[in-house]
Amino acid sequence: MLVVFHRLGFAVLLATAASCGYGFGRAGPAAGRSLEIRPPRIQAVTPDVDVVGEINWAIGRALARSPRVALTETATTSFEIELVRTGQGLRPLAEPGLRAADYLAFVVLRGRLLDEAGRTVWRSPPVRGEARFLSRPGRVEALDGAGRTAMARAIERAVSRLVSLLLMKGKQGHG
Q: Report if residue 36 sits inside a domain.
A: yes
Could you read off the pLDDT tens digit of each residue along the chain, which spans 175 residues? 433 333 444 444 444 444 443 333 344 344 555 789 998 999 988 878 889 999 999 999 999 888 888 888 899 999 999 999 999 987 776 666 666 678 899 999 999 999 999 999 999 999 999 999 987 766 666 667 888 999 999 999 999 999 999 988 766 654 4
Q: Report if residue 16 sits inside a domain.
A: no
Distance (Å, whole) CA 84 – CA 153? 17
Q: Report if residue 6 sits inside a domain.
A: no
Q: Report if residue 164 sits inside a domain.
A: yes
Q: Report if residue 19 sits inside a domain.
A: no
Q: Report if residue 20 sits inside a domain.
A: no
Q: Report if residue 9 sits inside a domain.
A: no
Q: Which domain holds residue 67?
A: 32-172
pLDDT tens for 126-150 read 999 999 998 776 666 666 788 899 9
Distance (Å, whole) CA 137 – CA 135? 7
- In this structure, what CATH number is given to the domain that contains residue 45? 3.30.160.150
Distance (Å, whole) CA 150 – CA 125? 23
Tell me how many domains the chain contains. 1
Q: Report if residue 10 sits inside a domain.
A: no
The mean pLDDT value of the chain amounts to 78
DSSP E strands, 16-165: 35-37, 41-43, 69-71, 78-90, 102-114, 120-123, 127-134
Does residue 86 come out as left (phi exceeding 0), alpha (psi in the -120 to 50 range) or beta? beta
SS3 of residue 97 by DSSP: coil
Neighbours of 129 (CB within 10 A): 22
Q: Supply the pTM of this predicted model.
A: 0.73
